[in-house]
Amino acid sequence: MEKKQGHTEQGHAIKSVEKGSIAEEMGLEPGDRILAVCGTKIEDVFDYQFLMQDTYVEVLVGTKDGEECLLEIEKEWDEDLGITFENGLMDEYRHCHNQCIFCFIDQMPKGMRETLYFKDDDSRLSFLQGNYVTLTNMSDHDIDRIIKYRLSPINISFQTMNPELRCKMLHNRFAGEALKKVDRLYEAGISMNGQIVLCRGINDGAELAYSIEKLVSYLPVLESVSVVPVGLSKYRDGLFPLVPFEKEDAEAVIDLIEDWQKKLYEKHGTHFIHASDEWYILAERELPEEERYDGYLQLENGVGMLRLLCSEFEARMQELSAKRSLPDEKPQGTVSMATGKLAYPYIRRMADKMEEAFPNIRILLYEIRNDFFGERITVSGLLTGQDIAAQLAGRELGERLLLPQNVLRSGEDVFLDDMHLSELERTLQVKADIVKSRGCDFVDSILGVFEEVR
């Protein structure tokens, strides 16, 4: 181990060192900084992971005592040192510089926590977390690194394949030119998924048909494309005058997409282009059968989420029936649930089937209107604690209140408006349980309540 004096505050700070790891054996501590690996300065986590794969690595460390140490490490292929960094990305998050006419963050009220107003457009988060990127914030160097490290899938917000229209929708004069980056990703075989946020009278109709036709040429590297309606909150003063879709608009969108699905399935064995669940609910049509979702590639965009939920619910109920695994002592009592307008009809059907199977239980299901963002926002993931509290006040809630997992900030007991789950429980004087997103969790959570209270 070679030591030198006088390093500067560069590199990437170590947050923690795993016990028994290589890092602990080498004497690394929280506060030390990784400056380089094998003579290469680390730009972000992908550089680090790529360079750390070999069986022999040289790691330049800047200690918290002001020294530089060159560590020579022999290890197993792809073995990790056992450290975590202060910044998981090992770089600053990239801010979106577009001014998209459909951006939901621009439609949020003032006074919410600062992180909710951050607009990311970072291709690295696309790979790590599934975020969608517009490509306008990516340089040729970024594309080179995606190809070099084989980062896939990359999720892309296309919106339209008309370059001129894309510039207008993103309010960025480079937005049309940025579509050429898709060609490089396609030629390199980097898997992609796409998204189109549809705005009425702007990129729908003939423009949508044109975009689908262009995107089809990227099959099979571009694996799927979802079409979702623009979300419109009540906070749109001074913003582009977008108008909501109506039933006949939704019918036209579905008809166009389903025509393409038939042709593409016959030719390529994939349906490729998908309408989100909201379109079918607005058009008052039945959801597509499970096979048409191609393995649910676009669940996070609300494509097939309700179909999967219902399918998992039915499978769990059939499993219970086939195994005759109903509790010996029949469950008895009342439980309440709250959800958004979008999912309400489907949750109601599931609740009715459970009450039929278990005649001694009652399931009180409440549809929560989104007063915070406006009634046109119907997904449960944008419900706030204050709306739930206000609309359930004075209602019968039974032994327990069940809430969908997506009403809370990931990994925390906090709603979008910063109300804590414990505060909601105190306000309503009821214990609240969080239900995961699978249909089997719906069944098991309800039965679990009565197992607890017996």
CA torsion, points 168, 172, 173, 179, in degrees to nearest 10? -90
CB 195 within 8 A of CB 226: yes
What is the C-alpha separation between 35 and 84, in angstroms, rounded?
Answer: 14
What is the C-alpha separation between 15 and 221, in angstroms, rounded?
Answer: 38
Tokens 């189109």 belong to which residue? Answer: 196
CB 413 within 8 A of CB 420: yes
What is the C-alpha separation between 270 and 201, in angstroms, rounded?
Answer: 29
At 141, give phi and psi (nearest 5°): -65, -40
CA nearest neighbour of 127 among 96, 152, 110: 152
CATH topology of domain 308-453: Rossmann fold (3.40.50)
The first and second tokens of residue 394, run together, are 């004075």
Instruction: Give residue 422's Cα distance to chain centre.
Output: 25
CB 191 within 8 A of CB 152: yes
Q: CATH for 105-302, among 3.40.50.720, 3.80.30.10, 2.40.50.140, 1.20.1250.20?
A: 3.80.30.10
Per-residue pLDDT of the chain (454 residues; tens, 9 = 90+): 444 433 345 788 899 999 999 989 989 999 999 888 888 888 877 777 778 888 899 999 998 888 888 999 998 887 888 888 877 655 555 556 778 999 888 888 887 776 665 555 544 544 444 578 889 988 898 899 889 888 889 999 999 999 999 999 999 999 999 999 999 999 999 999 999 999 999 999 999 999 999 999 999 999 999 999 999 999 999 999 999 999 999 999 999 999 999 999 999 999 999 999 999 999 999 999 999 999 999 998 899 999 999 999 999 999 988 776 555 557 788 999 999 999 999 999 999 999 999 999 999 999 999 999 999 999 999 999 999 999 999 999 999 999 999 999 877 899 999 999 999 999 999 999 999 889 999 999 998 887 764 4
Q: Give the sheet arrangement for strand 333-340, strand by strand.
A: 361-368, 333-340, 401-404, 432-435
Q: Give the sheet arrangement for strand 222-229, strand by strand.
A: 132-133, 154-157, 192-198, 222-229, 273-275
- Give residue limits of the domains in the chain: 2-85, 105-302, 308-453
What is the C-alpha separation between 20 and 5, in angstroms, rounded?
Answer: 28
- Looking at residue 51, its pLDDT comes to 81
Burial 72-84 (b: 16+ CB within 10 A, else e): ebeeeeebebbbe
What is the C-alpha separation between 153 and 132, in angstroms, rounded?
Answer: 11
- Looking at residue 122, its pLDDT comes to 46
CB 434 within 8 A of CB 405: yes
Name, in order, each residue with C-beta under 8 angstroms of 405's C-beta and a sequence gap of 6 or more. 434, 435, 436, 437
What is the C-alpha separation between 256 and 323, in angstroms, rounded?
Answer: 44
The first and second tokens of residue 28, run together, are 């690394």
CB 191 within 8 A of CB 153: yes
Q: CATH for 2-85, among 3.30.390.30, 3.40.50.300, 2.60.40.1120, 2.30.42.10?
A: 2.30.42.10
